[in-house]
Structure 1
Amino acid sequence: MARILYTINGEGLGHATRSRYLIEQLQQRHTISLAAGFRAYHYYKKLGLPVFRIYCSRILYRGPSVRVLDTLVRNVFTFLLYGWISLISLWIYALRFKPDIIISDYEQLGLLVAKMMSIPSINVDNQSTITRCTYALPRQYALRRNIVALANYNMTWPATYFCATSFIPFPVKPEYKHNTFVVPILLRKEILGKKPLPGKHILVYQTSHTFDMIAPLLKCIPERFIVYPSPRESIDGNLHFKRFSETAFVKDLRASKAVITNGGFSLISEALYLHKPVYSVPVRRQYEQIFNAIQVQRAGYGEHHDTLTVASLKSFLRNAPKYERNLRRFTKAGNEELLKIIDALIKKSVR
């Protein structure tokens, strides 16, 4: 049995929901303490789990675009203001807990604390495929990739081992093979093992507050759309706006014809697992989302578009049966494989 400090990035809910499976499995044979920031902190508090609150960097949006400079300035300023205090607080918390190893879901402070305490650490994320794997990339994204690679390095450089989840089996670069493992997608338990239901509607999930921009376009399509997450329940013609509920969302995802979303890794993974074609409109200037959308289109699982248009959406829906056929070969989740790798790394690292 090992003592594990598990730290979770709080930007978005994807980190929190996918970590829950690993945490619940590891708790059966190890002692675990949680630390999380922003939305991940509130997620685990709502579940009634004890969790230590830490600083979390944020991504700032303006409509469908990332405010790159504002995000950089805000994160540098807030870290200098109180992020370093959170680092020291987490270090003191860890000294009291005495972990044998720290596992991080793309969370920087936990990895830094592991370095400060000279103990091993494991970073679990999907972002490491961008920097530690080999893949083809359109030229126009080369600069953005390099910028994101620098940001990813800044977030994860102290890690001893890297476990990268991916819906495409990318090969690891030779220089990283000694400490990097690529595994299929990690699914939350609410999705794992579930079967898709016959499609009745199209599920729309937007995270950057673009409802007012897309609603008029969706009204031009003779389909029923269920739109998440809305601040209130309402029906407007063929659009059904819903507040976020995990149970209702999973049900609507399983019974959808297709999914319209940004480029978030977690929802794309769940949609592909349930054989739902994906129409991906990444947040502008958010390279990680652009990367995910490119891979979805290359694999024949859906389409990548810079903006949502009536013409491209109609074309996507005509091609959806083809994408659904391609998705029949997409059946594997990486939950058990990842758990075996982490167990082996814990056994190797903790004496």
Structure 2
Amino acid sequence: MKILYGVQGTGNGHISRARAMAAALEKHPALEVQWLFSGRPREKLFCMEAFGDYWWREGLTFVNRKGRIDRLATARQLRPLRLWRDIAELPVQDFDLVISDFEPVTAWAAKRGGVPSLGLGHQYAFNFAIPAPRFNWIARGIMRAFAPAGQSLGMHWHHFGHPILPPIARPHGRAENGEHILVYLPVEHHEPLLEELGKLPHRFIAYGIPTDLPAAGNIQLKAPAIKEFQRDVASAKAVICNSGFELISETLALGKPILTRPLAGQFEQEANARALEELQLAKVVERIDADTIGGWLDRLPAGTRILWPDVAESITRWLADGRRKDTAELAAQLWAQVIPGPEAGRLALGDIVD
């Protein structure tokens, strides 16, 4: 089977999930994969060895400024004619299946060319009734139209009674209780954030912030580095981050306490924050400053540890078997392996509905 696999490159979560899928797909030589990335300038992609001679397209992305979506800047950077040309010229007819991890060029090219397509990732969980901001039907409609697929495998921290899979997230190394707090807030206003962290009597290791900015002695700024980042998460006392899906999934696999602030105006992150509160998996705050961080650290709760199964390997076997198993059955089998999982995580097939 020849697969064209598109990945949204905005942020690092989609690419992190794609790395896990690439490792699983390598074990099945009958699945021949061509990777495509969009949504981030090619020169800003890093540690891409797992994807071989990947393709790149400009795609679509959102502009974040000072902790919120900048709608005007997002609209200004759109190039619809370039996007349409990339969709029209993509040779999807050369492939048996197109997989899109919320990547619009491959998704729309497959739809236009009548090629079977599969949406794989967290955003496809929003095809079902899951926790989300109320009365935001426009944002939900944009999410569904962004990268449509003929079939989908959505992922979330709970299935909410639908055929949604657990996250592709497994611990990277052994969890340890270090003395530092891991901070990953790349879309926050960096200077005020560093000023607030500097007021606190705690040691912070921060990623996603320019390393040349002045920082107090209790703050260590680090450049992007996959292995080092994974080690720092695994050895952290706690994690402070925005409400993206992948990092929180990996942090839950390690059992670390989480403080999170959703990116304002970003439907997915606001929905994630609502789910985290409902499942009691993290502390959600509206602002990040010395008072909220300090108060949380002074009464630091125990983290919730969830051991997710090897979802990437199960999906790959499902693909190699011709996708014959019903998605509800695949979901039920995976949730039965979650340890300990959110309440009602281990459900029989009949408890998950289409």
Q: TM-score scaled by structure 1? A: 0.83
For residue 237 of structure 2, give the secondary structure of its aligned residue in structure 1.
strand
1:196 maps to 2:175 = yes
Aligned to 1:338: 315
State the aligned residue count.
320
User: Within 5 A, what are the aligned runs for 1:1-351?
Assistant: 2-27=1-26, 28-29=28-29, 30-39=31-40, 42-43=45-46, 49-75=52-78, 78-80=79-81, 82-90=82-90, 93-95=91-93, 98-130=94-126, 132-137=127-132, 141-144=133-136, 146-157=137-148, 159-172=149-162, 181-187=163-169, 192=171, 194-232=173-211, 236-322=216-302, 324=303, 327-328=304-305, 330-333=306-309, 334-346=311-323
Higher relative contact order (CA 8 A, sep 6+): 2
For residue 236 of structure 1, give the secondary structure of its aligned residue in structure 2.
coil
**Structure 1 stretches lacking a partner, 5+ long:** 173-180
Aligned to 1:178: none
Deviation at 1:133, TM superposition (A): 2.3
Amino acid at match of 1:33: Q
Deviation track 1:173-199 (CA, whole Å, cap 9, x = no partner) reads xxxxxxxx4111112xxx546321113
Q: TM-score scaled by structure 2? A: 0.82
Deviation at 1:43, TM superposition (A): 3.9
Deviation track 1:15-35 (CA, whole Å, cap 9, x = no partner) reads 122112212322432111112
> Using the alignment, how far apart are the partners of 2:325 and 2:131 within structure 1?
34
Identity in percent: 23
Deviation track 1:212-270 (CA, whole Å, cap 9, x = no partner) reads 11112112221100111233367622111111111111111001111111111111111
Deviation at 1:154, TM superposition (A): 1.0
> Using the alignment, how far apart are the partners of 2:240 and 2:217 within structure 1?
18
CA RMSD of aligned residues (A): 2.4
Deviation at 1:345, TM superposition (A): 4.8
Aligned to 1:176: none
For residue 88 of structure 2, give the secondary structure of its aligned residue in structure 1.
helix
For residue 77 of structure 2, give the secondary structure of its aligned residue in structure 1.
helix
> Using the alignment, how far apart are the partners of 2:197 and 2:46 within structure 1?
31
Judge conservation of contact 1:4–1:33 (CA < 8 Å) in 2: yes
> Using the alignment, how far apart are the partners of 2:18 and 2:112 within structure 1?
24
Deviation at 1:54, TM superposition (A): 1.6
For residue 142 of structure 1, give the secondary structure of its aligned residue in structure 2.
coil
Q: Do the aligned partners of residues 193 and 208 (structure 1) sit closer, same or farther apart at CA in structure 2, a change above 3 Å counting?
A: closer
Deviation at 1:127, TM superposition (A): 1.3
More helix by share: 1
